[in-house]
Amino acid sequence: MKKQKLTHLLLVLSAIIVIDFGLVSLQAFALTPKQIYQKAGPGVVFVFASEGSRRGSGGTGSIIHEDGLVLTNAHVFTRKGSSRLLSNISIFLKPDRVTGNHKTDLAKKYRGKVVAYDLPLDLALVKITNADVPLTTVGFADSERVVIGDQVYAIGHPEQGGLWSLTTGVVSAHWHDYGGIRGKNVFQTDASINRGNSGGPLLDEQGAMIGINSLIARKAPDGLTITDVNFSIKANVALNWLGGLGYRFTAKQKVPSKSGQDVAIAPKQPKKMPVQPAEKVVSNKVEPSKDKGEADTRPGTGKILTEKKPYNMDELAAAMQEMEDMMEEMRGKMIKFKKGR
């Protein structure tokens, strides 16, 4: 009898140890914000689309394969009131160190070409055509495993913010068939997303992409300001869309290892099949916004996307220089204030 009780006690203790080890292992998966930025940042690009001038549309993208495939939003390339896309595309790779000096931060410039896009889903696949350096990729995660409250990170180029900015937040809610578009499932997040972040990755705590940042809400129909309501297209939506084009990727799965570190199942080599030209992939026309850049936030309207603000590369550099001058002036005033005390 005593032997049975002892055996039972040992089994209970073993179960507790296994569960505890499992919790420790899961906790070990989480990277710090710094590690996430260092891991995924080099795979994030700045996308600039225009009609051949220095004025155009700016956004963010993620390199998803070493051959230069970039996943981003379709609306980055749209012309207002037209179903034709902006054809002059530049892709900028992240510098080794972002300094705030646009002349050096945007030195790694390459040409891009739209391979395919879908306006209702707001997804586009772009190819870097002249890459002559090894490319870092951003892996996919299974977005169906993400729950409300999960920590998330976004990397992008927000309007009036720095290039390759890192912001943090949590998953706030799930939306299915957003805007009445079948299969367009999105996350709501309070991670800071602004114009310029469009197409950038929403990352989990392992630095894998669970979403594609796409939608922002800023003002309700009655004029009330809305904050911290942003939306990202779920990664699985993109995986299904890419699969339909003949590109097969596998989402990374968290697999406990003996060392307690996460083991990721790497994406398979994409199988390339003939696809339609980009001009034929679009399934509807771009409807010009009827408002003045503010969002219609009623559920199911599908018009939560704020109107794009055209980018100007010269203005971008000038704005950054102005910010640097202001900071220098503030530093000078602080030095004078300290000396006068």
Active-site residues: which are they? Answer: 75, 122, 198
Which of 294, 124, 120, 275 shows the shortest CA–CA distance to 212? Answer: 124
Reference 308, options 70, 79, 61, 114; nearest CA is 79
Q: What would the two tokens of residue 152 be?
A: 């998330």
Beta bridge partners, 48, equal 58, 90
> How distant, in Å, are the alpha carbons of 142, 171, 245 from that of 251?
5, 19, 17
Amino acid at 305: L
| DSSP code of residue 257 | -
Q: What phi and psi, each to the nearest 5 degrees, are found at residue 34?
A: -65, -45
**Three-class SS state of 149:** coil
- Give dist(CA 30, CA 305) in Å, integer: 31
In three-state secondary structure terms, 242 is: helix
Rounded to whole angstroms, the Cα distance separating 188 from 5 reads 51
Residues 6+ apart with CB under 8 A from 195: 158, 159, 216, 306, 308, 309
- The answer to whether the CB of 172 falls within 8 A of the CB of 217 is no
Is the CB of residue 30 less than 8 Å from the CB of residue 47?
Answer: no
What CA–CA distance (Å, rounded) separates 137 from 123?
18
Nearest to 296 by CA among 216, 203, 200: 216
CB contact at 8 A, 188 and 231 = yes
Token output for 111: 């040409």
